[in-house]
Chain A
Amino acid sequence: MSWDGDRIVGASAAALGLGTVVLAAGLREGTATGGPGSRFLPILLGVLMMLLGGVIALGRARTPDDSPGTAETTGSGLARPLAMVGAMGCYALLFERLGFLVATAPVLAFLLAVYGERRWSVVLALSVFATIATYVVFGLGLKVPLPLGALERWAY
């Protein structure tokens, strides 16, 4: 039995359901009303997750591996999404520390390059222009409180 996507997602869902049941069992039921309390729904949903996850994982185990709905996960197909997730993680980390303007332009340039834009002039121009335009429209125009980070002391 190979571990394709359906089995992995099904087994993960079943594990999540089990974890939910264990955690929810520790909650105080806390009802003086005659009805169910705080842990009733989480436990019920945890059990359903275990059942449905199990059905999907075991159901797939009985069907041929090449049935529809099973996407092949290859290394080359994952490289770009992984690089983008890494860039997004760095961006979330630096967003408030460096501020919107300083953090956004390099991350956007990286994303454009990862997505396949090969002209460096376009990458640089677009990343700087889009960052400034977004700040002007949303930060100044729509008053979205975008952080300035390191630039704060020069702004005020």
Chain B
Amino acid sequence: MSDLLQHLGLGFAVALTPVNLLYCLIGAVVGTAIGVLPGIGPVTTVAMLVPFTFGMDPTAALIMLAGIYYGSQYGGSTTAILINTPGETSSVMTCLDGYQMARQGRAGPALGMAAIGSFVAGTTSVVLLMLVARPLVRVALEFGPAEYFAIMVLALLTLGGLTGESVAKGLLTGVFGLLLGTIGGDPLTGTPRFTFGMPSLLDGLEFLPVTIGLFAVAEVLSTASRALRQEVYAAPIRGYLPSRADWHACRWTLPRASLIGFVVGVLPGAGATLASILAYLAEKRASRYPERFGTGVIEGVAAPETANNAASGGAMVPLLTLGVPGSGTTAVMLGALMLWGLRPGPLLFEKNPQLVWGLIASMYIGNVVLLILNLPLIRLWVQLLRVPTRILMPLILLFCFTGTYAVSGNVFDLWVMVVFGVIGLILQRYGFPIAPIVLGLILAPMLETHFRRALIISRGDYGIFWQRPIAAALLAAAILYLLLPLLTWAWRRRRRVAPA
């Protein structure tokens, strides 16, 4: 315990330096603004901002990017409550009761409870992250190539399978991402693959142009193809603090949703959206008046908003301890860590304790900053909603071009960004998830290296993946995950047939 407090003390010493505090503030405010604006998600923003962090100290840069991540979860609730449009997909459930509360003249308490729930969840998830991370790191330090290969396969399968409308579509984009990751030199022998004589491809596809194209450019193109009309809730918003009855109604909601959100966030691929849906359903089930959910009950706002924030804290666990991202945003953050020359994984705690613990401490501070800023600034966020999309989107495109060029100073990357913008638009249009492509692209070299290293160690014996218990358990979980839809289908079919 004293060890933990000592590390936390180091973290606060790092996070409380004026520069890091400033970046924490910038991240939290930019993240909230991004969360407020419909269409631009945290993954887009983090990807767009990574190029501009190269001159910065990695700790400050990571603090800012993490601030954007959890700040956007705060901001997403504002649009959900005021215009019935989720700023982030993770705020979808908030629309159900939040907008109804706004229509009943209770937008203030809904926004207030969303902010307070987010604060409670953010703080709880940071405490849990701190408690879970150290034991997990100790286990992960024992991992060899076989275990790393197995955990990456599991992460890809779950992220691919849980995002998007069908498992096959998610898996396809994950495989596509891995395939993109094989472009360039073989990680072990340096043999060029799929370079087509282009020197720019010898080092492989840069992840940032691909990510900015797939998320930001595709979103701008997608918005251009549909008319966006934003009807902002017009009545004045008064009294942000929830009433005594609201507090009483949410006394169990906040801890329950925090726990659900954190656990779901830790699982690779599950993410904030699933966390908010599960928390909402759990709340409805636990309620004495489930039939009133959807008509404007405060628990219907508190549960999803608490859970989605807790999930973003939970998603940091696999990223920091195993170097395996659990969501699209943490996948981009993993890529950023690698661009800064850091190696994510258990050794990060040993080699860069000031970075990891500084980040954890900054998340405490960021949650306080967000609570202080959010309630007084709600009017500003409402004004931000009134910025016309026709002006915002071209400016985002300008930012994408500048950021992409800033990474390498190579026009080739601009072409890569545009091509992947078109690919992203097509995939989005037909319900193919994008995040697995980024995860696959980032993980491919590591996955291949670990796979081949494991086989080098075993002298070509594939049994190494089954003889090591952790690797075997992880691969078994991956196979079970693949077979689960089939088993569920067979079970349902059997139940249907049985009565006859």
Assembly CA distance A111 to B52 (angstroms): 24
Return chain B residues, CB-CB under 8 Å to A150.
none
6 nearest CB pairs, A to B: A35-B455, A34-B460, A5-B430, A111-B394, A69-B431, A115-B390
Assembly CA distance A42 to B448 (angstroms): 10
- With A36-B452, A138-B402 known as contacts, the answer to whether A49 contacts B179 (CB < 8 A) is yes
Interface centre among A45, A53, A100 (most CB of B within 10 A): A45
Interface centre among A52, A70, A130 (most CB of B within 10 A): A52
Q: A64 on the interface (CB 8 Å rule)?
A: no
A88/B397 in contact, CB under 8 A: yes
Interface residues in chain B, defined as those with a beta carbon under 8 Å from any beta carbon in chain A: 51-52, 55, 165-166, 168-169, 171-172, 175-176, 178-179, 182, 186, 189, 191, 193-194, 217, 220-222, 224-226, 388-391, 393-395, 397-399, 401-402, 405-406, 409, 411, 414-415, 418, 421-422, 425-427, 429-432, 444, 448, 451-452, 454-456, 459-460
Return chain A residues, CB-CB under 8 Å to B432.
9
Extra inter-chain contacts (14) besides given A35-B454, A84-B224, A144-B402, CB under 8 Å: A23-B194, A27-B193, A31-B189, A37-B189, A41-B178, A41-B182, A48-B171, A53-B172, A69-B430, A84-B220, A85-B418, A88-B418, A89-B418, A95-B411
B193/A38 in contact, CB under 8 A: yes
Interface residues in chain A, defined as those with a beta carbon under 8 Å from any beta carbon in chain B: 5-6, 9-10, 13, 16, 20, 23-24, 27-28, 30-31, 33-42, 45-46, 48-49, 52-53, 55-56, 59, 68-71, 73, 77-78, 80-81, 84-85, 88-89, 91-92, 95-96, 100, 104, 108, 111-112, 114-117, 122, 126, 130-131, 134, 138, 142-146
- With A46-B179, A115-B389, A130-B395 known as contacts, the answer to whether A92 contacts B414 (CB < 8 A) is yes
Task: Say which residue of A6, A35, A42 sits within 8 Å of B194 (CB atoms).
Answer: A42
A49/B455 in contact, CB under 8 A: no
B390/A116 in contact, CB under 8 A: yes
Assembly CA distance A69 to B168 (angstroms): 13
Task: Say which residue of B182, B425, B456 sits within 8 Å of A42 (CB atoms).
Answer: B182
Task: Say which residue of B169, B194, B226, B418 sits within 8 Å of A92 (CB atoms).
Answer: B418
B402/A146 in contact, CB under 8 A: yes
User: 6 A–B contact pairs at CB < 8 A?
Assistant: A36-B455, A81-B425, A91-B414, A92-B418, A112-B394, A142-B55
Assembly CA distance A112 to B333 (angstroms): 31
Assembly CA distance A7 to B431 (angstroms): 12
Main secondary structure of the interface of A (DSSP, over half): helix
Return chain B residues, CB-CB under 8 Å to A88.
217, 397, 401, 418, 421
B471 CB to closest chain A CB, in angstroms?
15
Return chain A residues, CB-CB under 8 Å to B415.
92
- With A9-B426, A42-B179, A85-B221 known as contacts, the answer to whether A108 contacts B193 (CB < 8 A) is no
Task: Say which residue of A40, A52, A81, A146 sits within 8 Å of B175 (CB atoms).
Answer: A52
B394/A28 in contact, CB under 8 A: no
- CB closest residue in chain B, given A49: B175
Return chain A residues, CB-CB under 8 Å to B402.
100, 134, 138, 144, 146
B455/A34 in contact, CB under 8 A: yes
A15 CB to closest chain B CB, in angstroms?
13
Task: Say which residue of B189, B225, B391, B406 sits within 8 Å of A144 (CB atoms).
Answer: B406
Assembly CA distance A56 to B165 (angstroms): 12
Return chain A residues, CB-CB under 8 Å to B186.
30, 37-38
B394/A108 in contact, CB under 8 A: yes
B456/A13 in contact, CB under 8 A: no
- With A45-B179, A84-B221 known as contacts, the answer to whether A9 contacts B427 (CB < 8 A) is yes
Return chain A residues, CB-CB under 8 Å to B393.
111, 115
A117/B189 in contact, CB under 8 A: no
A104/B398 in contact, CB under 8 A: yes
B441 CB to closest chain A CB, in angstroms?
12
- CB closest residue in chain B, given A71: B429
Return chain A residues, CB-CB under 8 Å to B172.
10, 13, 49, 52-53, 56
Task: Say which residue of B165, B398, B444, B460 sits within 8 Å of A69 (CB atoms).
Answer: B165
Assembly CA distance A144 to B55 (angstroms): 10
- With A142-B52, A145-B409, A146-B402 known as contacts, the answer to whether A42 contacts B193 (CB < 8 A) is yes
- CB closest residue in chain B, given A85: B422
A108/B398 in contact, CB under 8 A: yes
A52/B171 in contact, CB under 8 A: yes
Return chain B residues, CB-CB under 8 Å to A36.
451-452, 455
Assembly CA distance A53 to B459 (angstroms): 34
B189/A52 in contact, CB under 8 A: no
Assembly CA distance A20 to B194 (angstroms): 9
Assembly CA distance A115 to B397 (angstroms): 12
